[in-house]
Amino acid sequence: MQSPGNGKEPILSAEGVTKTFEDQPVLTGIDLSLFERESMVLLGGSGSGKSVFLSTLIGLITPDAGRIRILDHEVTAFQTESEWKELWCNVGFLFQGSALFDSMNVRDNIAFPLDVHTDLSRAEIDAKVGRLLSMVGLGNIQEKMPSELSGGMQKRVALARTIAMEPKIVLYDEPTTGLDPITSDTIADLIRELQVRLGITSLVVTHDIRLAFKVADRVAMLHEGKILLTVPLEEIKKSTDPRVREFLYG
C-alpha cells in the first residue's frame, strides 16, 4: 500500500517506545507514524497505555527506550526544559479533563499561552480570544468562570486555548469522555473542522468508536503494549481480526 505521506517524512514518529511502571510493562515497543494534515485515531481499551503513550510525546513521561521525533526534533534526546517549551508552542494538547484554571475566567484561560509566549498587546489578545471562541462555536462568555460552564462548554474553551498558539499538531486525550452523545458529536465535528480549516495534524486517543468513525483518516489500535495495526478507517471497519472486531463491535 502506498504511504499515506506520499513519500514525505512523517511529522511525528515513534520507534520502539517502551515504558514499565513497577515491573508492569505498559508500552512494549510502540511504532507509529503520523503525516502532515492527517487525522489519526489511536484506539485501545481502558488501561491499554494510550494516555501513557500520549504523555511520552509531550515530555510528561520519559520512555524507558525508543525514539520519538516530532517536527524534525528528536524529543527523546531533549536535555533541557527550554527545548520542550519551543516544541510546546507548536504542539497543542487537549487534556482529558479540560484542565482549565479554576481561578481564571474564560478570557484569561484562553489568553494564558498568548500572555506567556507572545508579545501581543492586550487588545490583540482580546480580539484573538473572541475569534477563537467563535471558532469553537461559543459566544461572548469571556467573563464566565469554568464552574459556570457545562462539561461540553469547558471542553470547547479548552480546545480554544489549545489552538491559541496556532499549533501544527494537536494531541487529544479522550476528548469525549464524560460527554453526552450530542455534545460528543459537536466535539468530533470541531476536531475535523480544525483539521481542514487550519491544516492541523491530529492524533486522537480514545476508546470512543463513534468518535473514531467521525474523525479518523487512519486508525491505529493499541493492544498489549504494541500497535496491533494501522490502517485507513474503511479498512478497520472490515477487519476480520477477532481482537479488532471484539473491540469495535463487542
**The pLDDT value given to residue 79:** 86
Rounded-to-integer distance, Cα 171 and Cα 56, Å:
12
Has residue 21 got a pLDDT over 60?
A: yes
Has residue 6 got a pLDDT over 90?
A: no
Has residue 250 got a pLDDT over 80?
A: no
Domains of the chain by residue range:
8-90+169-190+201-250, 97-166
Q: Which of 201, 126, 117, 130 is closest to 165 using CA atoms? A: 117
- What integer is the mean pLDDT of 16-28? 94
**pLDDT per residue over 116-128, tens digit each?**
999 999 999 999 9
pLDDT band at 1 (very low <50, low <70, confident <90, very high): very low
Has residue 198 got a pLDDT over 80?
A: yes
Rounded-to-integer distance, Cα 105 and Cα 88, Å:
23
Cell 527545548, residue located: 83
**The pLDDT value given to residue 146:** 97
C-alpha cell at 204: 486522537
Domain 8-90+169-190+201-250, second-level architecture: 3-Layer(aba) Sandwich (3.40)
**Angle between helix 151-162 and 106-117 (nearest 10):** 20
Rounded-to-integer distance, Cα 21 and Cα 68, Å:
19
User: Could you give the angle at the alpha carbon of 132 between the alpha carbons of 126 and 134, nearest 5°?
Assistant: 105
pLDDT band at 7 (very low <50, low <70, confident <90, very high): low
**pLDDT per residue over 229-249, tens digit each?**
999 988 988 888 888 888 887
**pLDDT per residue over 89-112, tens digit each?**
899 999 988 899 999 999 999 999
The reply to whether the predicted model has a pTM over 0.85 is: yes
**The pLDDT value given to residue 242:** 85
**The pLDDT value given to residue 4:** 63
DSSP conformation class of 10: P
Beta strands in 35-133 (DSSP E): 39-43, 65-70, 73-74, 91-94
**pLDDT per residue over 136-187, tens digit each?**
999 889 999 999 999 999 999 999 999 999 999 999 999 998 899 999 999 9
DSSP conformation class of 35: -
**The pLDDT value given to residue 2:** 40
